[in-house]
């Protein structure tokens, strides 16, 4: 889907959110024309997944007792035919690595969205990080392709250069918008935005469409404001008004295919 389709369909995105950024994530989903809902209560997962169009699992503040909950949530989504997007925050930290290993083994994930260091963990490539941030350097195209092949999921690697790969088809969007990395939660918001854009179909094209919409909104925001506090609000405003036609033009000009 493109952003016009998202506004028409208004998909309900169910997010198992961390406790740091749910307000920003919910607002992002709302302004693009989709419908946000957050829950961490297993007793209502069946009912919520039944009405959801996509399920996003963010493990940013996961606790041990919740590992089984996210596995259960991903299985319910799979059984009901709803796409699952995983945001594996700081996955290289041992407790998190163990939780995600269990989720991949016993649950089901369609798309993994993370920064370069997080995606490198799935590809078994060394990449420097500092907690939630990727700080290293590496071949992000190769990393995304390897991670897709290792997991069977579509990979959405974000950063200066965004990369989307299913292991065979790979597309990149290399546009530097420094202010996007100053707001904590832009990655979390992007993961849930991807949920909205793949609600009807899990495809590389739909993931690229979500990432391009987000990045172009960021670029337009930096033409208006140059500081993080104002940028955060302006990013939401630009996501609210962005047109599918201008995103398509941005994709035509800036997305490269590496097949
Ligand atoms: N230097 C950069 N230039 C351009 N875009 C960037 C840059 N850094 C991040 N982004 C964009 O910011 C958004 C969030 O990606 P990022 O890789 O920072 O996620 P993250 O590390 O998971 O963030 P968070 O943990 O704060 O949610 C994406 O749309 C990505 O394209
Ligand atoms: C700062 C932080 N800590 C755990 S989750 C999170 C938000 C970024 O994903
Ligand atoms: Mg993140």
Q: Which residues are annotated as a binding site?
A: 38, 113, 158, 185
- Average pLDDT rounded to a whole number, residues 214-238: 98
Pocket of ligand 1 (CB under 6 A): 115, 132-133, 158-160, 162, 176-178, 180-181, 184-188, 190, 214-215
pLDDT at 259 exceeding the cut of 90: no
- Average pLDDT rounded to a whole number, residues 91-109: 98
- Rounded to the nearest 10°, the torsion over CA 100, 103, 108, 111 is -10
- Average pLDDT rounded to a whole number, residues 229-234: 98
* Minimum-distance ligand 1 atom for the alpha carbon of 188: 27
Pocket test residue of 190, 193, 212, 238 for ligand 1, highest count of atoms within 8 A of CB: 190
State how far the Cα of 122 lies from the Cα of 108, in Å rounded to an integer.
Answer: 15
**Helical H segments across the chain, by residue range:** 3-9, 22-31, 45-51, 67-79, 94-106, 116-123, 140-151, 186-197, 204-222, 228-241, 244-254
State how far the Cα of 257 lies from the Cα of 173, in Å rounded to an integer.
Answer: 9
User: CA nearest 54: which of 75, 27, 81?
Assistant: 81
Pocket test residue of 113, 171, 177, 179 for ligand 1, highest count of atoms within 8 A of CB: 177
pLDDT at 18 exceeding the cut of 90: yes
Written as six digits, the tokens of 109 are 């994930």
pLDDT for 44? 98
Residue range 3-257 in CATH 3.40.1190.20: yes
pLDDT for 69? 98
Give residue-wise pLDDT tens across range 28-43. Answer: 999 999 999 999 999 9
**Left (φ > 0), alpha (ψ -120 to 50) or beta: where does 167 sit?**
left
Q: So where are the chain's domains?
A: 3-257
Contacts of 94 (CB under 8 A, 6+ apart): none
- Average pLDDT rounded to a whole number, residues 71-98: 98
Ligand 3 centroid distance, CA of 241 (Å) = 25
CB 206 within 8 A of CB 212: no
Among residues of the chain, what percentage have pLDDT more than 90? 100
State how far the Cα of 49 lies from the Cα of 78, in Å rounded to an integer.
Answer: 10
Q: How big is the CA angle at 167 (ends 163 and 171), to the nearest 5 degrees?
A: 30
pLDDT at 77 exceeding the cut of 90: yes
CB 172 within 8 A of CB 124: no
**Averaged confidence pLDDT in the chain:** 98
User: CA nearest 20: which of 83, 73, 90?
Assistant: 90
* ipTM rounded to 2 decimals: 0.97
Give residue-wise pLDDT tens across range 120-143. Answer: 999 999 999 999 999 999 999 999
- Average pLDDT rounded to a whole number, residues 45-49: 98
């Amino acid at each position: 889907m493109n952003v016009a389709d998202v506004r028409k369909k208004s998909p309900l995105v169910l997010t198992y959110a961390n406790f740091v950024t749910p307000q920003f994530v919910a607002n992002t989903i709302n302004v693009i024309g989709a419908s946000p809902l957050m829950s961490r209560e297993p007793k209502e997962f069946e009912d919520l997944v039944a009405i959801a169009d996509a399920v996003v699992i963010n493990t940013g503040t996961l606790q041990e007792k919740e590992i089984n909950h996210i596995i259960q949530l991903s299985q319910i989504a799979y059984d009901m035919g709803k796409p699952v997007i995983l945001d594996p925050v700081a996955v290289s930290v041992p407790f998190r690595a163990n939780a995600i290993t269990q989720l991949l083994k016993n649950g089901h994930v369609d798309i993994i969205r993370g920064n370069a260091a997080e995606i490198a963990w799935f590809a078994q490539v060394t990449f420097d990080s500092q907690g939630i941030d990727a700080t290293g350097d590496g071949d992000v195209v190769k990393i995304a392709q390897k991670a897709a092949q290792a997991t069977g999921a579509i990979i959405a690697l974000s950063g200066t250069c965004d990369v989307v790969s299913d292991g065979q088809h790979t597309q990149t969007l290399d546009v530097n918008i420094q202010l996007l990395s100053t707001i904590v939660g832009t990655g979390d918001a992007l993961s849930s935005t991807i949920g909205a854009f793949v609600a009807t179909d899990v495809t590389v094209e739909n993931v690229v469409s979500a990432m391009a919409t987000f990045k172009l909104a960021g670029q337009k925001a930096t033409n208006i404001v140059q500081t993080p506090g104002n940028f955060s609000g302006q990013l939401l405003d630009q996501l609210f008004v962005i047109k599918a036609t201008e995103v398509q033009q941005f994709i035509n000009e800036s997305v490269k295919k590496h097949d």
